[in-house]
Homo-oligomer: A and B are copies of this chain.
Amino acid sequence: MTTDPGLADEELLRLDQQICFSLNAASRAFGGVYRVLLRDLGLTYPQYLVMLVLWEEGELPVKRIGERLRLDSGTLSPLLKRLEAAGLVRRERSPEDERSVTVRLTPEGSALRGRAGQVPRRLLAATGLPVEDLAALRGLLDRVTAALDAAEVEPAP
């Protein structure tokens, strides 16, 4: 879990810089392409992520959506409200547990899945990478995510 101490701080600063630049740039480049692809569906990228989960599950409590997407209620509550205002989902408190809110697709929300059908293919094409490389990328990303989540980083140096 430690780093090669032979590398000077100066070199690490450069690598750190490159890693965080690259990740930031990639994340925003993806966002830009998704934005174009999703525009005529009336969805933002995070809204699309929520719809993907709902298309798979049909209905889900807010809590579960948050676990799937690593998002908390501070992000999901207003986002879901906008999806509801757009007529894509309904939200209702669960009768069994009044604390929980269940999110359900409306017929319009389900129908949108058809119109979203070409999004993945077009996105993967835009990456310009063969599927194997994308799988490798995903593997590396998942590894760092797991490590970063597990790392107990001390606040004060």
Binding site for B on A (CB under 8 A): 1-4, 7, 9, 12-13, 15-30, 32-34, 36-37, 39-40, 45, 49, 52, 69-70, 115, 117-129, 131, 133-138, 140-151, 153-157
Contacts of A20 in B (CB 8 A): 30, 34, 45, 49, 123
User: What are 27 contact pairs spanning A and B, CB under 8 A?
Assistant: A1-B125, A2-B125, A12-B124, A13-B120, A15-B120, A15-B131, A16-B123, A16-B124, A17-B52, A22-B137, A22-B142, A25-B70, A28-B70, A29-B144, A29-B145, A33-B148, A37-B157, A40-B155, A40-B156, A118-B157, A119-B157, A122-B157, A127-B148, A129-B147, A137-B137, A137-B141, A140-B140
Total copies of this chain within the assembly: 2
- Residue of B21, B23, B127 near A26 (CB, 8 A) is B23
Question: Of B32, B52, B128, which contacts A143 at CB under 8 A?
Answer: B128
Q: Which 6 A-B pairs have the closest CB atoms?
A: A128-B147, A16-B120, A126-B151, A29-B148, A12-B120, A26-B141
Pairwise interchain contact B143-A129, C-beta atoms closer than 8 A: yes
* Nearest CB on B from A98, distance (A): 31
Verify B127–A144 contact, CB threshold 8 A.
yes
Give min CB distance, A28 to chain B, whole Å: 6
Query: Measured between alpha carbons, how far is A151 from B33 in the docked complex, in Å?
Result: 9
Q: Could you tell me the distance between the alpha carbons of A154 and B3 in the complex, rounded to whole angstroms?
A: 44
Nearest-neighbour CB distance to chain B for A23, whole angstroms, equals 6
Q: Which residue of B lies closest to A128 (CB)?
A: B147
